[in-house]
Amino acid sequence: MDRIRIRGGHRLNGEIPISGAKNATLPLMIAALLTEDTLVLENVPRLADVTMLARILGNHGVDMTIRGKRRGKPNGEGDTIHLCAETIADTTAPYELVSRMRASFWVLGPLLARCGEARVSMPGGCAIGTRPVDLHLVGLEALGAEIEVESGYVVARTPNGLKGAHIEFPKVSVGATHHVLMAAVLAEGETVIENAAREPEVGDLAACLGAMGARIDGIGTSRLVINSVARLDGTTHPVLPDRIEAGTYAMAVAMTGGDVVLRGARPDLLEALFPVMEQAGVDMTATNDGIRVARNGGRLDPVTVETSPYPGFPTDLQAQLMALMTMADGTSKITETIFENRFMHVQELVRLGAEIALDGDTATITGVDRLAGAQVMATDLRASVSLVIAGLAATGETVINRVYHLDRGFERIEDKLGRCGADIERLTG
Ligand code: EPU
């Protein structure tokens, strides 16, 4: 298994290109199931999750070809992928595949809309919490699906086709919004989704579905109104830039000091991060082609932050912010309100010398003068990258094990940071 070795203490200077968003790419790829025509996605990041989903979609009969720049080419743009689900070969998504990537559960709705039946393994729990799928199932049932759970599989049928409905989610769910939206675009009549997730990745999916011929109003708001169309066509859609990758590198620069332009980052998608960084004493400014992050000298100031659905502070940046605050001059408080168990990074940050106390959903971080490198590992993508951020500032050597978690969501991380002056290396095997 690959590991990442970091020798800390180097400032970051230069430019980091921001890739297409993982969490937009996954639902966009699944949307290919909704049409017999070819869906072309541009700016697709090269990530293990994309490869895994391609395998899962291939199992359903989706043909995929990739046209991209050569792997490892500096500052390369993402891949362009062509997905064509001319015929659906199989409406079953087996446990072996769904259990490796939760988002693949979202094939259920599109398969139902397209074929009138589907059998998809329940995704099960994961490291960051129980992550149930009740909202997904309630939404699909409202659209007329008959659903049973048999031997760990959701078995769904639509004997009379999907029908428009009024759905109000009791809680904001990104996945349930993606999922029900994809099913509703082909449902007969009007569907209204209230309390829909407003995450930019939902907007990106809705925009792509719109370009495929779907009729969706209220994009970017918590009330989506969908009117049926008989079929969807192919289109070409560029994936929006990854706001979480951009926020992560912003925190890496804040941690080490330096001056970096995050090329291609969209400041409007990170509005919750700007005031937090300002309070901490980091300069973050919007530029013509991205975001510039700079910090010179002095320790950071502590912050108090609570995660919440978009446009609030993202749970996907919580671990990285915690790493940053381990070296602040004072006591920070970070409350996680989205996932009940998203604190796996705490123990590992403590191994590097951080002082963190957990009380329920709140972590209290007392800033220390220095972190010291150690062997660490994490069982979740964002937790793993928080250890990279800490390692960049720790004295000595930090080795991060189980790098495959990082490869799920960060493209060429060692290359992007290395080009800005970090001493970071992948140890293979
Ligand atoms: N929830 C339910 N019932 C449901 C669905 C969700 O109770 O049927 C709960 C969850 O347990 C959680 C909350 O609702 O407490 C929010 O979960 P949500 O459904 O919004 O999360 P998700 O769709 O499973 C996506 C991202 C996550 C990101 C969350 C929150 C993708 C592929 N995943 O997950 O990203 O943290 O939204 O923004 O888009 C990551 O990229 O590292 C990652 C975990």
Flag whether pLDDT at 68 surpasses 70: no
Asked if residue 134 has its Cβ within 6 Å of ligand 1, the reply is yes
Is pLDDT of 22 > 80?
yes
Q: Whose CA is nearest to atom 37 of ligand 1?
A: 174
CA-nearest of 100, 28, 99 to 64 is: 28
> In the annotation, is 126 catalytic?
yes
CB 54 within 8 A of CB 92: no
Residue nearest to atom 5 of ligand 1 (CA): 133
Atom 31 of ligand 1 has which residue's CA nearest to it? Answer: 23
Ligand 1 pocket check: which of 338, 345, 408 to mutate, most ligand atoms within 8 Å of Cβ? 338
Question: Which pLDDT belongs to residue 1?
Answer: 84
pLDDT at 227 over 90: yes
- CA distance readout (Å), 396 to 215, 323, 350, 370, 419: 56, 17, 16, 11, 20
Instruction: Decide which of 296 and 394 is more confident.
Output: 394
Lowest mean pLDDT segment, chosen from 58-62, 294-298, 333-337 = 294-298
- How do residues 388-424 score in pLDDT, each as one tens digit? 999 999 999 999 998 888 999 999 999 999 999 999 9
Q: Whose CA is nearest to atom 2 of ligand 1?
A: 132
Q: Is the CB of 248 under 6 A from ligand 1?
A: no
Q: How far is the CA of 104 from the centre of ligand 1 (A)?
A: 13
When pLDDT is averaged across residues 119-140 and rounded to a whole number, the result is 86
Is 378 touching ligand 1 by the criterion CB < 6 Å? no
Predicted confidence at residue 37, as pLDDT, reads 98
Whether 50 is in the pocket of ligand 1, judged by its Cβ within 6 Å, is no
The single residue listed with the structure tokens 């099960």 is 124
Distance (Å) of CA 65 to CA 68, 80, 107: 10, 8, 20
Q: Which residue has the higher pLDDT, 74 or 5?
A: 5
Residue 125: what pLDDT?
A: 63
Q: What distance in angstroms lies between residue 427's CA and the mean position of ligand 1's atoms?
A: 32
- Rounded CA-CA distance 382/386 in Å is 6
- Read off the tokens for 153: 């599989």
User: What pLDDT, on the 0 to 100 scale, is given for residue 133?
Assistant: 94
Average pLDDT over residues 292-296: 96
**Which tokens in the block code for residue 415?**
């290359």
Lowest mean pLDDT among 99-103, 169-173, 280-284, 362-366: 99-103
Residue 260, H or E segment: strand 258-263
Sequential DSSP letters for 153-194 = EEEEE-TT--B--EEE-SS--HHHHHHHHHHHTTSBSEEEEE
CA of 173 to the centre of ligand 1 (A): 6
* Share above pLDDT 90 across residues of the chain, in percent, rounded to a whole number: 91
> Which whole number is the average pLDDT over 50-73?
84
Question: What value does the mean pLDDT of the chain take?
Answer: 95
From the alpha carbon of 340, which atom of ligand 1 is closest? Answer: 15
pLDDT digits (tens, 9 = 90+) for 198-210: 999 999 999 999 9
pTM of the model: 0.97
List strands edge to edge, sheet with 12-17: 12-17, 258-263, 290-295, 283-287
299 lines ligand 1 (CB under 6 A): no
User: Which of 115, 126, 208, 420 is labelled catalytic?
Assistant: 126
Give the pLDDT band (50/70/90) at residue 143.
very high
